[in-house]
């Protein structure tokens, strides 16, 4: 699938003075409040050696230090290789790359029923991602398969991603063991030489707002950066609950978090690829839950992308997020506005671009196909603008979505060397025996 580069200028919602004020407040937060790195004293020592002050588990970073570390060594642009090199993607070079929903425990199945997700669903969504010309990425955690053991399900999911798709992928990061297994399986699939010389895997690590990097997440970040694979460091805050309720305060806090996290990747390994993400959702004190799809979130996302460019990092946005419980008009509107904000903000990586429902509690087959159709049309129009305003190629513009079963029946598995697949199968079997025995 050909990479489509943006032609339009980015929309920057902040004036220079507003952005500078937010940056100054972020520096003040890191200096006066500090950034907590739990259970990893050696990572705190990396900051001490760079000039920070340590008090218990909290790192107090002098103004300008973290920003200078990021600007001096973090790559402004880099590429992630796919198993099929023609599907590789770039970050920071003007492309917007779309990835499906991530993490739901429930699925709205082919019969419209809401139930716990199964491994078969995970594999189905991997197949749908492979066939979609709107998605640049495969998973990630499309959904949590409830019919597999929690200790070993990451192995089954990683095996599905590597064998059922040949698009770029994200690894599994809930424990350092999952990170290590994801790295090793990627090394097997891509080969030692390619893995050691190119970025082949993207791992997403969320800061616990406000200002906490949990021990297992910090260790996973370290393992990923040491392997010179991509770290996506993300601040995901709820305005009025885990961050200030005001937009300026929330942006300052989130900028402080992602700057400190990105700086840590560079202290672990200079030049390690890193992407940052800023996304804020309003928190309803009436319903006691976050409100996804709100205009405030789109503004925070566009402002976050602007701040990321000033920091010198590629940016992660969110796409089709919604609090809608069904693939209805609300869900469609939220998706369209999310995609629009992600593209016009100049985002490099857009997570949750297909299938998301119920504030992230569920993934829907119907909505997955609907979101992919929107993305396919967006790519078609962007491509037509790139080619001297030539008309977009004709498409079946019927409002009817394709039959999901027909799409799955037409799926063709991408080729994989039999020796490589056998090594992956052996690795998975060995790890399962090890974890079950323990």
Give the pLDDT confidence of 100-126 residue by residue, as tens digits. Answer: 999 999 999 989 899 999 999 999 999
Residue segments in the chain with a per-residue pLDDT below the cut of 50: none
Q: Residue 44 domain-assigned?
A: yes
CA 76 – CA 106 distance, rounded (Å)? 37
Tell which residue, 186, 215, 212, 208, has the closest CA to residue 199: 186
User: Tens digit of pLDDT for each residue in 154-195?
Assistant: 999 999 999 999 999 999 999 999 999 999 999 999 999 999
Mention every residue, 6+ apart, whose C-beta is less than 8 A from residue 151.
Answer: 435, 436
Q: Does residue 10 form part of some domain?
A: no
Q: The CATH number of the domain where 339 resides is what?
A: 3.20.20.480
The pLDDT score that the predictor gives to residue 2 is 66
Any idea what DSSP says for residue 85?
G
**What's the confidence (pLDDT) of residue 322?**
95
Count of beta carbons in the 10 Å neighbourhood of residue 69 = 23
Strands (E), 196-253: 202-207, 212-213, 230-239
Q: Is residue 430 part of a domain?
A: no
**Distance separating alpha carbons of residues 354 and 126, to the nearest angstrom:** 12
Q: Which domain holds residue 74?
A: 16-387+399-410
Q: How many domains are contained in the chain?
A: 1
Per-residue confidence (pLDDT) for residue 288, from 0 to 100: 87
- Whether residue 147 is contained in a domain is answered as yes
Residue 394: inside a domain: no
Strand duo 230-239 + 202-207: pairing:
parallel
Q: What is the pLDDT of residue 389?
A: 56
Closest CA to 367 of 393, 406, 396, 336: 336
Question: Given CA atoms 165, 169, 173, 176 in this order, what sign does their dihedral have?
Answer: positive
Answer whether 59's CB lies under 8 Å from 139's CB.
Answer: no
Asked whether the beta carbons of 348 and 305 are under 8 A apart, the reply is no
Residue 104 domain flag: yes
Alpha-carbon distances of 234 from 37, 48, 262, 297, 391, rounded to whole Å: 15, 23, 9, 15, 38
CA distance 306 to 301: 9
- Residue 266 counted as domain residue: yes
What does each C-alpha distance from 384 to 3, 6, 339, 388, 394 come to in angstroms?
A: 13, 11, 18, 7, 11
Residue 301 falls within a domain, yes or no?
Answer: yes
Question: CA 318 to CA 342: how far, in whole Å?
Answer: 7
Q: Are 256 and 228 a contacting pair, CB within 8 Å?
A: no
Q: What does the pLDDT read at residue 437?
A: 86
């Amino acid at each position: 699938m050909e990479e489509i580069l943006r032609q339009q200028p980015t929309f920057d919602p902040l004036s220079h003075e507003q952005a500078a004020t937010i940056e100054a407040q972020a520096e003040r937060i890191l200096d006066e409040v500090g950034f907590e790195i739990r259970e990893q004293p050696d990572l705190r020592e990396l900051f001490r050696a760079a000039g920070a002050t340590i008090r218990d588990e909290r790192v107090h970073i002098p103004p300008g230090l973290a920003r200078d570390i990021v600007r001096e060594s973090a790559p402004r642009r880099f590429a992630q290789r796919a198993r099929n090199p023609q599907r590789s993607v770039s970050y920071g070079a003007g492309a917007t790359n779309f990835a499906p929903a991530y993490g739901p425990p429930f699925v709205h199945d082919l019969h419209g029923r809401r139930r716990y997700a199964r491994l078969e669903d995970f594999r189905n969504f991997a197949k749908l991602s492979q066939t979609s010309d709107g998605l640049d990425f495969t998973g990630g955690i499309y959904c949590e398969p409830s019919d597999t053991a929690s200790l070993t399900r990451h192995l089954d999911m990683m095996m599905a991603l590597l064998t059922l798709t040949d698009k770029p992928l994200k690894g599994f990061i809930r424990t350092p063991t999952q990170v290590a297994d994801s790295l090793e399986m990627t090394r097997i699939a891509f080969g030692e030489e390619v893995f050691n010389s190119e970025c082949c895997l993207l791992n997403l690590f969320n800061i616990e707002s406000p200002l906490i990097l949990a021990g297992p997440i910090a260790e996973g970040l370290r393992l990923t950066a040491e392997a010179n694979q991509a770290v996506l460091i993300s601040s995901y805050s709820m305005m009025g609950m885990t961050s200030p309720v005001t937009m300026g305060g929330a942006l300052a806090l989130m900028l402080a978090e992602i700057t400190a996290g990105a700086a840590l990747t560079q202290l672990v390994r200079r030049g390690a690829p890193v992407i940052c993400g800023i996304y804020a959702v309003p928190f309803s004190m009436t319903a006691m839950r976050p409100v996804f799809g709100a205009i405030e979130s789109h503004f925070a996302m566009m402002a976050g992308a602007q701040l990321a460019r000033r920091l010198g990092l590629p940016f992660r946005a969110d796409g089709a997020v919604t609090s809608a419980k069904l693939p209805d008009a609300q869900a469609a509107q939220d998706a369209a506005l999310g995609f629009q904000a992600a593209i016009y903000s100049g985002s490099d990586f857009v997570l949750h671009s297909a299938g998301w429902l119920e504030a992230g509690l569920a993934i829907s087959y119907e909505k997955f196909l609907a979101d992919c159709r929107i993305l396919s049309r967006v790519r078609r129009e962007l491509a037509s603008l790139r080619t001297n305003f030539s008309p977009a190629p004709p498409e079946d513009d019927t409002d009817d979505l394709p039959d999901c079963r027909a799409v799955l029946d037409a799926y063709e598995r991408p080729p994989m060397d039999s020796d490589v697949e056998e090594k992956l199968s052996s690795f998975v079997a060995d790890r399962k025996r090890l974890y079950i025995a323990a």
